[in-house]
Each structure stands twice: as C-alpha cells, then as structure tokens.
Homo-oligomer: A and B are copies of this chain.
Amino acid sequence: MGKQEIRCAAKVSLDKPAAEQACLHNRWHPDVPSCGTIKNGEVVKIECVDWTGGQIGNNDSADDVRDVDLTRVHYLTGPFEIETAEPGDVLLVEIQDVQPMQDQPWGFTGVFAKENGGGFLDELYPKPAKAIWDFEGIFCSSRHIPGVRFAGLIHPGILGCAPSPEILETWNKREAELISACSHMSRVVALPPNPQSVHVGSGDDSIKEKVGREGARTIPGRPEHGGNCDIKNLSLGSKVYLPVHVNGAKFSVGDLHFSQGDGEISFCGAIEMAGVITIKFTVMKGGMEQLGMKSPIYIPGPVEPQFGPGRYIYFEGFSVDENGKQHYMDATVAYRQTCLRVIEYLRRYGYDDYQIYLLLSCAPVQGHIAGIVDIPNACTTMGVPMDIFDFDISPHVKAEKRDLGSCAFASS
C-alpha cells in the first residue's frame, strides 16, 4: 500500500466563473445532469466554491456586498449519482472533514442591503456591511471586528438529494401560494423559479430552459430534503441521514461555512468560504420507512469547540417587538429581541452595531427556544461565549469603551 490520497470527486476553480464549471449548478431539479458517480461505501473529497460564487473580495469595502447579484449564488457541487440509491432509501452522509482551500485561507460575513437581500434585522440595520475573516488553522479573526478570535465549527450550509418531480411541484405550489397571500407585504417572502442565471452544470439548453422554469431556488431549506438548512452543528464529524427521492439520490453540497451562529442572522451571516469536504456515503435501503423519516436527521461529531456551560452569557428575548407590540407566541419576534439585547450589551465596549450584527451571525452563539407555551410570550435565549473575546465581557466587570475600529461599509 503506502501513500495514497482520498479521491477527489469534483474539483472547482476559484479563477473561473462558477457558471462555467460543469460540476456546479444552482437550482434543485431532478433533471440537472450528474457530474459524477460515487460508490456506496466510498469516501471522497468534494470541492466547493463560496456561496456567492466568488463575488465577494478580500478588501475593506462592502460595495461588493451591496451590489451582489443574488441570481448568481448558491452554486452547489454535484449532483452526484450514488450507486444503488433509490427513492425511499436514506443516504447516510458522514462528514469526515471540511477544510478551507489551502491557498485561500479567509472567508467573509456580510450584511446585505435591505433592498438587495436583507437579513433578520434589516428594519434596524438596512446598510450593507462586511467583515473579512482570516483563518489561522482552526481559529479565525477579523481586522473588521477586533477583539474576537474563535475556533471554527466548519460545516456545509447546504446538503441534500434532488427532489422528485412530485416534490418539486409541491414546493413550487406552496411557495407560490405564500407569495400570493403576502402580495400586500412590502418585502420579498419567497423566490419563485427564475430563469435568470440558471446554471445546470453540463446540461444543455433544453435542460437549462426546463430547470429555469421549474427549478427550486436554493435559498430556503425545505423539510423534504434539507437543502440550505444552515445548521451550525451539522458539522465536521456529523452523520447526516438524508431522504432519497430519485434514482441515484443526486446528492449536492455547497455553501461551506467556517463558523455560524444559531440563526445566521445577517443572512450572508456565516463565515462563507470556498473549501473541500470529505464525505463517506452509505445507502440505507428502505431507510425512510424504517426511520419514519420526513426530514433529515443528524448526529453531530464529537469535536465541537467547548467553552463550559458557565462561560456563556445568556440573553433573553420575548415576543414583544421593539415598538412595544405584543405578539402571540412568536418565536421569530422573540429571537429578534434576543439579538437586540446582545447588541445593546456589546456596544458598551465600543463596537458599532453592525460589527455586532456580523459577529452574532457567525460566532458560535447558542440560540435556544426556551419557553414556547406561556401565552402570550414566547421566550428565546442566546448564549454568547465569553472566551471568544480577548477582553473580559463579564457583567461584573465595568465596560470600558475601546477603539474597536470598524467593519467594511459601502461607499456612498
């Protein structure tokens, strides 16, 4: 035996537009042609571009974030044909490692402009903003958010198998109904199929046309297959059990994150990066029925960074919004309030609100549903690990304002 490297099932180029690469695609559709075949039981490496397909640069301006073309994002690597997988099976995906590209040891976190993407707090923080993170082995730090440094919990934001035509139809129908029902709202509530910038790997124009018309957008996760679930501890070392809906499973993966906070609140909120993921694939025949499975499940790996339960400050939020309006058991409202409580706390040290908004999006904060039954107030909490700061943020230590610089903003 001797030397031997794990097979790389798909290589991407960071120097070529994502839209020109045959192993990438940016819609969920059963007809996107496979870019390779993987054996049942095989371990492979798969390279991924960052979720904006390289639109964001390592610089000190958020102009690129402001101007991002959101039709050209979420390029996934795949789909891969997994041998022997059939509808009704479960695809067991063991994430054995995730690493940034060796020659690109950095990532970014962005706040999208309210009018181009937005985010969880865009009513209050409508401006585009950005932080660049430098990777130092397992740690990262940012010149745009001084005073913090933490170990990543690297994970893919997106992984899943292709929908069947029936499932795809369900998705399109129910999201269209939402769009229609919310037509009075001033904000985009869901994204219908859109032919613009569709990329279907090596697929020809007729496939492209069909996928453009029917293909599901990759922004939301969806219960039937997972997709863009953006779960911070579905991470390296995890075993993920994915429902299979088409022959060969047609597995895709992308949107790698060096780290993410619960909620990924600024939308482009994780530390987004290009990288390579190592996965072992195993097919569980008839797994969906066996597991009673409607949505993916997973078991995290044993290597999550550990701070000790007593090293977090927890903030509480309730479903009374910032205008004093009482909402009924609304965990979304409560979580927004929880985030605002953290911003109020951390700004005392000299951080700009946008810096904190970026930080809470990507640092390993714990967002919990605490109480969801005490009418009318849902209560959520956010635990902020003290040890990611290089100064003491304990409540018993008097806060001093310091010079903590600035994140990147857009030119005006």
Chain A residues engaging chain B, CB cutoff 8 angstroms: 1-6, 14, 43, 57-59, 92, 95-97, 102-106, 119-120, 136-139, 151, 170, 174-175, 177-178, 182, 188-191, 219-223, 226, 228-234, 236-237, 239, 241, 262-267, 269, 278, 280, 284, 290-318, 320, 324-332, 335, 337, 341, 344-345, 347-348, 366-381, 383, 387, 392, 394-396, 398-399
On chain B, the residues within 8 Å of A139 by CB distance are 96, 237
> Can you list the 9 inter-chain pairs with the closest CB atoms, starting with the nearest?
A96-B137, A97-B137, A230-B371, A308-B308, A331-B331, A367-B369, A220-B377, A302-B305, A190-B376
Residues in chain B near residue A335, CB distance under 8 A:
331, 369, 372
Would you call A291 and B345 a contact (CB within 8 A)? yes
Identical copies of this chain, number: 4
- Find out whether the CB atom of A328 lies under 8 angstroms from the CB atom of B182: yes
Docked CA distance A292–B340 (Å): 11
Interchain CB contact (< 8 A) of A189 among B232, B320, B328: B328
8 A-B residue pairings within 8 Å (CB atoms)? A6-B105, A138-B303, A188-B375, A219-B374, A221-B377, A221-B379, A223-B317, A292-B348
A395-B3 contact given A264-B371, A309-B300, A317-B223, CB 8 Å threshold: no
A59 contacts across to B, CB distance below 8 A: 1
A174→B320 contact, CB < 8 A: yes
Q: Which residues of B contact A305 (CB under 8 A)?
A: 302-303
Whole-angstrom distance between the Cβ of A330 and the nearest chain B Cβ = 6
Q: Is the CB of A316 within 8 A of B341?
A: no
A355 to B102, CA, bound (A): 36
Contact (Cβ within 8 A) B43 A136: yes
Q: Is the CB of B370 within 8 A of A231?
A: yes
Cβ contact within 8 Å between B392 and A314: no
Question: Is the beta-carbon distance between B269 and A297 smaller than 8 angstroms?
Answer: no
What distance in Å separates the Cβ of A276 from its nearest Cβ neighbour in chain B? 10
Q: How far is the CB of A63 from chain B (nearest CB, A)?
A: 15
Checking B174, B234, B315, B373 against A120 with a beta-carbon cut-off of 8 angstroms, the contacting residue is B373
Contact of A265 among B278, B311, B373, B376 (CB under 8 A): B373
Q: Assess whether B320 is in contact with A298, with CB atoms less than 8 Å apart.
A: no
- Verify B328–A314 contact, CB threshold 8 A: no
* Inter-chain contact B344/A294, CB cutoff 8 Å: yes
A258 to chain B, nearest CB (A): 13
When chains A and B are docked, how far (Å) is the Cα of A256 from the Cα of B46? 27
Q: Which residue of B lies closest to A241 (CB)?
A: B395
State the CA gap A371–B230 with chains docked (Å).
Answer: 6
Query: Is B326 touching A178 in the complex (CB atoms < 8 A)?
Result: yes
Partner of A222, one of B278, B306, B308, B320: B320
CA distance A366 to B304 in the complex (A): 15
Query: A234 contacts which chain B residues (CB < 8 A)?
Result: 314
The answer for the CA separation of A5 and B166 in the assembled complex, in Å, is 46
**Most chain B Cβ neighbours within 10 Å, of A231, A345, A399:** A231
Question: In the complex, which residues of chain B have a beta carbon less than 8 angstroms from the beta carbon of A236?
Answer: 137-138
Please name the residue on chain B nearest to A394 by beta carbon.
B299
Known: A231-B381, A316-B229, A332-B332. A374 touches B137 (CB 8 A): no
CA distance in complex: A177, B376 (Å) = 12
